[in-house]
Structure 1
Amino acid sequence: MERAAKQSFIQGAVILTGSTLLVKAIGALFKVPLMNILGGTGMAYFMTAYEVFNPIYALSVAGFPAAVSRLVSEYTARGRQRDARRTLKIASALFLAVGAVGFALLYFGGKVFCRAVGNPDAALAVQMLSPALVFGCLSAAVRGYYQGCQNMVPTAISQVVEAVAKLVLGIALSYGTFVWAMEGYARTGLVFGRAAASAAQAKQLALPYAAAGAVLGVALSTGVSMLYLFCQHKFGRHALPVKSAQSSARPASARHIARRLVQIALPICLGSFATSLTSVIDLFSVMNALERAAGRGADIICAMYGLQMSAVDLPTFLYGCYTGMATTLYNLVPALTTTFGVSALPAVTAAYVGGDRRQLAQNAQSVFRVSAMMAVPAGLGIAAMARPILHLLYGGRQQEIAAVAPTLTVLGAAAVLLAFTTPVYSMLQAIGRADLPLKLMVVGGAIKLACNLVLVRDPRYNLLGASFGTLCCYLFIVIGAVALFLRQVGAPVHFWRAVLGPAFSGLICAVSARTAYSLLCHVFVSNISCVLGIAVGCGCYLLALLGTGSVQEEDLLALPGGQKLAAKLHRWGLLGSASKRAAHRPKAV
């Protein structure tokens, strides 16, 4: 079979970004109706399962593709294609063993975890997610192999396949389980063996099972994605030629490759843990802190948000709103820039191993610039338009919107910082300093936990305390990560030159969107004004990007039809080009 063509760093990033945008759009189609099915309380069960699952998933899966990608890209850069192919086989066996351990831990320890976080009714949902660890570990090996060969298409397609399967299976199983439970109550007065005194109580008893049905759909979707990847590898084009010349170096042994994978994967997995760091800390502290806050001043919290709810029900409701609505939108922003970290890792690794410091600096500046172009307008836009966006997506949940809108405003700003962590972490991993993200994560986590324990327990702050903790945590981490990378890379990387234009343009985007929304509300209803305001913000952002010269020719040439667009913008003097500026710079005499 013929070999799949390599992609440039920007091309790979564009492919993954396109798939990520599609995945997030499908994810919104999943979360919005799910929120309407489950409500704030039911989403607390669903999101508790996710938050228990995510740290284990981050440790056992999220870092594995990066580890395989780095090792495969290193072998191919040195002409050792056979060792690169063997890496996939060894990684599959190794990761399967890790997935089996994670499955057992999650399935048999789910009840203990849920009792520890103060939400024991979420135990069934946690158990339903456990198969996803096995499927995810096997998928990680194949994704990492193709990424290391600088072919992002299989990863992109598998993500879309998983999202579609999650949408169909998750909603169907959740709604079907809820209907089944209510039909059982109508016939027998029982909900899965538990007596209900009224229809309202029956709905409350059915929510943990409906959440578990949605979670089971998510787990099955990872299995569908794994099946696609294995079919792609078995029957599709090979990333590396089956018969290719090997360098004169002695072939690596299976034990050596496995040891290298563990050495690379362990710090990367722990570093990847940082992307879910605040969620983990929130999982083990927010619910308990909210119980303390409700006990000290439930009337204060209810008055803040216009709620009528008992102190017993308030913590679960607030936590479900926070994780099901605010953090769902907040996590959209870093998902956009994660693709640049994934795509940059093999390119930066190849430049670093080859000693090409100029190419390394150029790749790093591209990562910083494009990450800022994606993160700043998205994060600040969410902060500026928090309440209108929530009304647009969850119009039937007015109580939930009132509770979570102020928190989402703060999280929007924090999302800009979080979006930089994965790309910078990937580049640190590429130059062999995967230990640094872990050290930064420990200190940042301590800051986040301290804010939760102090602020969330105070009824005057409650959920706002968690969002302020997230902001402070990632402010420290991003400043530290960028400073350490610039010191470690050993090449002139102009960070501020790369991000100032996109940052200014993103601020223009947020201000213009909010201003347009406020003016349009006098003419149109809120939802139409929201959509039009976002459109105005996007238009102003594009004009500001071009006006500041933030868009460079190299970025556009990687896009379909980008050559024609680049030529037009170049004629109008609206296009920057780092390579051309370097070529035309006067030489020293």
Structure 2
Amino acid sequence: MKTVMQGAFILTIASLVAKVLSAIYRIPLQNLVGNTGFYVYQQIYPIYGIGITFALSGFPVFISKLIAEQDSEAQKVKVARQSFLILGLISLALVVFLLIGAPEIAHGMGDSGLTPIIRCVSFMFVFMPFLAVGRGYYQGVFQMVPTARSQIMEQVVRVAVIIGVAYTAAHQNWDVYKMGTWAMSGAVIAAVVSTLYFLRLFRVKIFAPIQGLSRQPLISGSYGKLTKRFFVEGGTICLFAAIIILLQLIDSFSVKNGLVAQGLSNGAAKSLKGVYDRAQPLVQLGLVIATSFSTTLLPSLTKAVQNRNQYDFKRTAQSMFHICLAISTAATVGMVTLLPQINQILFGNTEGTMAIQIYVVAVILASLIATYNSVLQSLNIFRPAIFAFTIGLVVKLALNQTAVVKYGIDGASWVTVLSLAVILGCMQVRIPAYLKGKLHLGWQFFGKLTVASLVMVVSVTLMRWGLLSLLPDLNRIGLSLVVIVIVLVGILVFATMSIELRLFTIREWLTIPYGKKLLKKLIK
């Protein structure tokens, strides 16, 4: 158990580092290539995002579950081979679809110049079976370090290529589509590097001849049943890991087209879509912060399910929701309050501030959806999540372009928030009756959280007004230092109010990383 917990901790840290890298690199990218260059990259990014979700956090989790269910080493290898074959066929279908359909996809996005970028990113799917099975196998035998290393390697290589390409493009005056194609090649190069890391596993273990392997039965009875499990269980994990990315994919097809339909020129619509895309790294960072704290309780939840301890399950699930909602609310409220300054610091101006402020509300909703899904998956309940997700996507598809035509990029942000609210509401309605009482947060908690958030907002607003009045002509570096000071004060105020109002139980404080130290200092 100690080894498993250490491995889980290493994997969590690696995932956080990878996600932070994946969010932060977009800021220098936008600064180097401008709004239109950023638009070109972000139009195709959701396709890459779906692929990386399959290979990094979706199918590996499901495959690790399959492998952990097996008793002997031969059975584990058999499962890995079966999974590789199924994923190989899925990958082949995706690559062919993207290569052949690239012109039509680009046309649907309203920009035929995106065709070579779509074809470029399609090749990363070739490596998905190697990455998903390699990571899933190691996680299934409780060796988390190889997965952690491959995650970091992949993101470092990709980010290095993208920033290098953006720098070259800016100084060599490249066409934005040439820049986009070379930037997306970073995904393929990173996938190759990660695949090379797993090559020895496939050569020595998975593809090597093993005595008695042919006599091992197919798990779940047949390839058909296993494939069904891949689509239902594995697909659910993938879908919810990629929830924001799929909403972004719908934006790729409707925001720019909607802006053109509103009356903007092609060039102005591309630039404004690039401004709208500024929200995405902020939301991604907010989700990393919010979900990283609540997922520390996942092992306790799993243990409670295994021991059939309903009291511990209820207490742990409620703690997950308390921590997730509180941290995501604090992060969202803080970002909304300081967004004019954050926008200026990160992107050089305050364009699109209102749309970004609306969009970052998604942090609260997406964090709660992820927590709900974790609880349901721990009980092997999938249908409510799939139903809710489908309804949410239909809402986004049905309303997005109309909202953009009428309200511009603010409309797209509102529809994203609405879609996530619909998903969350449907999950609450569709969960089994015996779980509804266990996952109830209570109005008392909401009241305390509202008071703590309001006090933080007032404190941050007054401090911002005071400091910016004293220092009116700050450059981006000076403004960054001021905002860092304000953020630290905001965190301190929220933490102090949380203790004064008893927002968290002592047990919940001790669960939060460094919660014990923070609790001691604040009480003193």
Over 3 Å counting, the alpha-carbon distance change for 1:355 and 1:486 in structure 2 is same
Q: What displacement does 1:327 show? A: 2.0
Which of 456, 470, 475 does residue 404 from structure 2 map onto?
456
User: After the TM superposition, which residues 410-489 of structure 1 pair with which residues of structure 2 at under 5 Å, given as runs?
Assistant: 410-458=358-406, 461-485=407-431, 487=433, 489=435
Partner AA of 2:464 in structure 1: Y
Indicate the residue corresponding to 1:170 in structure 2: 162
**Matched residue of 2:5: which SS?**
coil
Partner AA of 1:443 in structure 2: I
Indicate the residue corresponding to 1:377 in structure 2: 330
For 2:451 and 2:316, the matched residues in 1 are separated by: 22
For 2:116 and 2:190, the matched residues in 1 are separated by: 18
**Residues 453-510 of structure 1 deviation map (CA, whole Å, 9 limit, x = unaligned):** 332102xx20000011111111222233244447353873443389645665455444
Give TM-score, length-normalised by structure 1.
0.74
CA RMSD of the aligned region, Å?
Answer: 3.8
For 1:149 and 1:507, the matched residues in 2 are separated by: 47
For 2:317 and 2:72, the matched residues in 1 are separated by: 26
Indicate the residue corresponding to 1:292 in structure 2: 261
Over 3 Å counting, the alpha-carbon distance change for 1:279 and 1:572 in structure 2 is closer
**Residues 346-391 of structure 1 deviation map (CA, whole Å, 9 limit, x = unaligned):** 7655644553333432332232133224322222222111111111
Over 3 Å counting, the alpha-carbon distance change for 1:108 and 1:392 in structure 2 is same
Over 3 Å counting, the alpha-carbon distance change for 1:86 and 1:136 in structure 2 is same
Greater Rg by CA: 1
| Aligned residues of 1:99 and 1:133 also touching (Cα < 8 A) | yes
Over 3 Å counting, the alpha-carbon distance change for 1:25 and 1:261 in structure 2 is closer
**Matched residue of 2:361: which SS?**
helix
For 1:150 and 1:226, the matched residues in 2 are separated by: 20
Structure 2: 5+ residue runs without aligned partners?
A: 206-216
Indicate the residue corresponding to 2:34 in structure 1: 39
Which of 550, 563, 566 does residue 516 from structure 2 map onto?
566
Q: Which stretch of the first structure deviates more once superposed, 513-522 or 227-236?
A: 227-236
For 1:233 and 1:489, the matched residues in 2 are separated by: 42
Which of 9, 15, 23 does residue 18 from structure 2 map onto?
23
Indicate the residue corresponding to 1:307 in structure 2: none
Indicate the residue corresponding to 1:218 in structure 2: 187
| Aligned residues of 1:377 and 1:506 also touching (Cα < 8 A) | yes
Partner AA of 1:7 in structure 2: M
User: After the TM superposition, which residues 400-415 of structure 1 pair with which residues of structure 2 at under 5 Å, given as runs?
Assistant: 401-402=350-351, 404-415=352-363
Q: What displacement does 1:434 show? A: 1.6
Count of aligned pairs: 506
Q: What displacement does 1:82 show? A: 6.5
Partner AA of 1:418 in structure 2: A
Which of 91, 111, 130 does residue 119 from structure 1 map onto?
111
Q: What displacement does 1:511 show? A: 4.1
Give TM-score, length-normalised by structure 2.
0.82
**Matched residue of 2:66: which SS?**
helix
Partner AA of 2:494 in structure 1: Y
Residue 317 in structure 1 maps to residue 312 in structure 2: no
Over 3 Å counting, the alpha-carbon distance change for 1:286 and 1:372 in structure 2 is same
Indicate the residue corresponding to 2:498 in structure 1: 545
| Aligned residues of 2:294 and 2:323 also touching (Cα < 8 A) | no
| Aligned residues of 1:49 and 1:125 also touching (Cα < 8 A) | yes
Q: What displacement does 1:569 show? A: 4.2
| Aligned residues of 1:147 and 1:342 also touching (Cα < 8 A) | no
Q: Identity, % of aligned pairs? A: 22
User: After the TM superposition, which residues 88-127 of structure 1 pair with which residues of structure 2 at under 5 Å, given as runs?
Assistant: 88-127=80-119
For 2:77 and 2:312, the matched residues in 1 are separated by: 26
Structure 1: 5+ residue runs without aligned partners?
A: 183-202, 237-248, 299-310, 575-589
Q: Which stretch of the first structure deviates more once superposed, 410-419 or 154-163?
A: 154-163
For 1:521 and 1:568, the matched residues in 2 are separated by: 29
**Matched residue of 1:218: which SS?**
helix
Which of 239, 242, 250 does residue 281 from structure 1 map onto?
250
Indicate the residue corresponding to 1:246 in structure 2: none
| Aligned residues of 2:62 and 2:233 also touching (Cα < 8 A) | yes
**Matched residue of 1:118: which SS?**
coil
Partner AA of 1:454 in structure 2: T
| Aligned residues of 2:384 and 2:431 also touching (Cα < 8 A) | no
Partner AA of 1:522 in structure 2: S
Q: Which stretch of the first structure deviates more once superposed, 126-135 or 136-145?
A: 136-145
For 2:468 and 2:33, the matched residues in 1 are separated by: 30
**Matched residue of 1:489: which SS?**
helix
More helix by share: 2
Indicate the residue corresponding to 1:520 in structure 2: 467
Over 3 Å counting, the alpha-carbon distance change for 1:366 and 1:81 in structure 2 is farther
Over 3 Å counting, the alpha-carbon distance change for 1:53 and 1:420 in structure 2 is same
Partner AA of 2:21 in structure 1: I
